[in-house]
Amino acid sequence: MPYTETQPALYFQCTGSGTAIIFISPPAMGHLTFRYQQLLKDHFKLITFDNRGDCRSSGTEGILQFSDFVEDVKRIMDVNRISQAIICGYSNGGLIAQEFALRYPNHTLALILIGGYYTPGNITLRTQYGLGITIAKWKWIGLLAKGLSFNHFRDKRAAKEMELEIKKTAPHMLTQQYQLGLNYQAADRLHLIHVPLLLIYGANDFYVHSYQHAFRKKINDVEVAYIHHSKHQVPTKYYNECNAIIYEWSKRKELMK
């Protein structure tokens, strides 16, 4: 199985060819979050991985920094010998994607945020983060695994596979990952992002829609796409629409090799 040689060892998968897209998942969910994005492998090189401490990736002791997760994305790029990529983050993974674009502009070809926001500033998001922190602190990983997996997949087999992966997650690292996400803020730095940005929202994912206004105001090249009938679980429950949007936008922006 492919792992980074440097520690902590990160599990990753790489398929397809062409322009690289690196997918960043929310806490605990790992590479299977983007199992249906593998349908794009005829058009892109697709890299999925487990965040440190999540699923198959190794954990570490001590206090984590948000920058640790950003540097992990760079390590994934380096081990796959990729100099530039489209960075795609889903939910909290979008926070890592934004920070990567800010820290490594020369390695960021474009940015895609699915259900994206620049800080969990509203009560709904902060409540969700708080719940995640509580579950992780009490080591109720089995409960979290079942809830996340069956909330994201209609297919019971796919849900069960994700559930088993999530159960491998280290609770002490998951607690910190949620806390770091809760404290993240990029509003005052969005103007420093100078690559094309695609925002993909579920049409019924109302509590994150308002974030698009600051993105539009502070970043020159922003496009927003809504997926009808969808809530937050865009990449897993409405993957055909999500994939079509990514493909069409990338082609129109001349990002594809």
Architecture of domain 12-120+186-252: 3-Layer(aba) Sandwich (3.40)
- Domain positions in the chain are 12-120+186-252
pLDDT digits (tens, 9 = 90+) for 74-117: 999 999 999 999 999 999 999 999 999 999 999 999 999 999 99
SS3 label, residue 16: strand
Q: 4 with 10: CB under 8 angstroms?
A: yes
Residue 183 has pLDDT above 90, yes or no: yes
pLDDT digits (tens, 9 = 90+) for 199-247: 999 999 999 999 999 999 999 999 999 999 999 999 999 999 999 999 9
**pLDDT on residue 1:** 67
Nearest to 26 by CA among 58, 62, 61, 69: 69
Q: 226 with 81: CB under 8 angstroms?
A: no
Q: Which residues are CB-contacts of 130 (< 8 A; sequence separation ≥ 6)?
A: 182
**pLDDT on residue 79:** 97
What is the rounded CA–CA span in Å between residue 127 and residue 119? 13
Q: 256 with 248: CB under 8 angstroms?
A: no
The residues facing 12 across adjacent strands are: 49
